[in-house]
Amino acid sequence: MTAHRRIVLASSVAGAAIVALDGTVLTVVQPTLQSELGASLAQVQWTSTAYLVAVASVLVSAGRIGDRYGHQRVFGVGMLGFGVASAGIGLAPGVEWVIGLRVVQGVFGALLQPATLGMLRAAFPPDRLGMPIAVRTGVIGVAGAAGPLVGGALVGAVGWRAVFFLNVVPSLVFGVLALIVREPPWERTSAVRFDLPGALLLALSLASLVQALVDLPGSAAGLALSALAGLAFVRHERRTAHPLLPPDVVGSAAIRGALGMLLAASAAFSGTLFVVTYFLQDTMGLGPFQSALRGLPLAAAMVLAAPATAVLLRRAGARRTAGAAMVVVALAVLVLSRASGTFAVCAGFALLGAGFGAVMVAGTHVVVREAEVQSAGVAGGLKQTAVNVGPTLGVAAGSALMAGSGREPALVMLAAVALTGSLACLVLPGRTVASLTHPPVTGDRAGVPAGR
């Protein structure tokens, strides 16, 4: 592996891990933050909602900006902004400042997320993308599991502000590194104008959708606005000469299938975690730290599943690998729907981590590999949008079903969501042989920078 590829892989992993860690530690600090800042429950909820709305609104546009101006440059700006915003939250004098800075943090987080995938697509040939994506996914699993444990320890020992300072140093280091290390030249979509009207319509649609899902059941107006903006976006995209979503991305059945699978898997995964966490704490009487400990098999299984999936992708293809993984996710949710003791819960979490880790690697691999290099950013933005909107859908559905019918029916429905998502795997690529019987792919489709 060349020095540039090592730097790209380290940066991609660091960016993904920082965002994952930030997303999981916040739930631990919210009660303390509310007490110290004298905030209302609604204000505390907005510290999460504001970030989600900002991220969902900007992700696809951020990916397109990376396609135009270079993913490494956009990644550097995103990391620097994310780090500065994190430091600002740690110093915030009131909850209003926290909410406002969470919006800023979400915008910069949206800038860096598609770039982490765009950089990989530009640096690695398609037949070598599996392992870098697996490493990235495994580290995300570790960061997600470590978040509640690290956050709980820091809140108890230092205070809630220390949690946000966790991101500052690595964000600044990798941000500066990305801006000072020379990026190899490659063909960008500089000839294509940025579709600002399309970006605004898509942002309005996604922001309204996320806010509406968070605000269930009083969300009819938000859902209606999201639908209208979405229809206007589709109409605009069909008529404009420079669409935000390039034809090579939206026209790919494999990419559409992978996005649908990732949306369903992330909805089932996050909805299940929400429902089971309430079961552990309200029914089994466990504290947040004890609940987090029982979730460690999930993280361990994700870490182990990621590299194994990279091997399976080469041997069995994305269609079979992802289809089997979605079935494992559904099975894990069903196990957790009947679990009543620690062993059964841990076993269910292990199955869930293995299945979801494999789905993430396979789905990400398909999206990144199938996209042209010049569209890798927007494809990565769509992928990140799917895995950001999916959890909002899953938690909304899980909470509504749990309140109305209880834990078991809610989880059975989420298992059905996973099985339905497995149908999307039918359009994913089958097994490809590139190493022994065919010459290696070259040029832009190989992800090799063009020396121009």
CB of 417 closer than 8 Å to CB of 326? no
User: Per-residue pLDDT tens for 248-257?
Assistant: 888 899 999 9
**The pLDDT of residue 190 is above 70:** no
- Can you give the pLDDT at residue 96? 93
Q: Note the pTM of the prediction, 2 decimals.
A: 0.85
User: Per-residue pLDDT tens for 387-441?
Assistant: 988 988 888 888 888 877 788 899 999 999 999 999 999 999 887 544 333 334 4
- Can you give the pLDDT at residue 151? 78
**The pLDDT of residue 448 is above 60:** no
Count other C-beta atoms under 10 Å from residue 317's C-beta.
Answer: 18
**The pLDDT of residue 69 is above 90:** no
The sign one gets for the Cα dihedral 72, 91, 61, 363 is positive
What tokens were used for 405?
């019918």
Count other C-beta atoms under 10 Å from residue 165's C-beta.
Answer: 16
Percentage of the chain with pLDDT > 70? Answer: 92
Say if residue 217 is preceded by a cis peptide, omega within 30 of 0.
yes
- Can you give the pLDDT at residue 184? 65
Q: What is the dihedral of CA 337, 343, 348, 353, to 10 degrees?
A: 150
In the chain, the amino acid numbered 80 is: L
Distance CA 197, CA 195 (A): 6
- 391 HSE (CA, 13 A, CB side): 15
In the chain, the amino acid numbered 42 is: A
Confidence of residue 187 (pLDDT cuts 50, 70, 90): low
**The pLDDT of residue 267 is above 90:** yes
Which of 356-365, 399-408, 437-446 is most confident? 356-365
Mean pLDDT over each residue of the chain, to the nearest integer? 86
List the single range of 144-148, 175-179, 322-326, 431-435 with lowest mean pLDDT. 431-435
User: Per-residue pLDDT tens for 77-117?
Assistant: 999 999 999 999 999 999 999 999 999 999 999 999 999 99
Mean pLDDT of 322-326: 95
Q: In 157-217, where do the E strands start and end? A: none
CB of 151 closer than 8 Å to CB of 24? yes
**CB neighbour class for 244 (10 Å; exposed up to 12, middle 13-18, buried from 19):** buried
User: Per-residue pLDDT tens for 11-44?
Assistant: 999 999 999 888 777 777 777 888 888 888 778 8
- Size of the chain, expressed as the number of residues it contains: 452
**Best CA proximity match to 89, nearest among 16, 168, 152, 28:** 168
Mean pLDDT of 174-179: 93
**The pLDDT of residue 449 is above 50:** no
Q: How far lies 350's CA from each of 128, 137, 141, 165, 172, in Å?
A: 28, 16, 12, 31, 34
Give SS3 for 319.
helix
Which of the 8 DSSP states describes residue 192? S
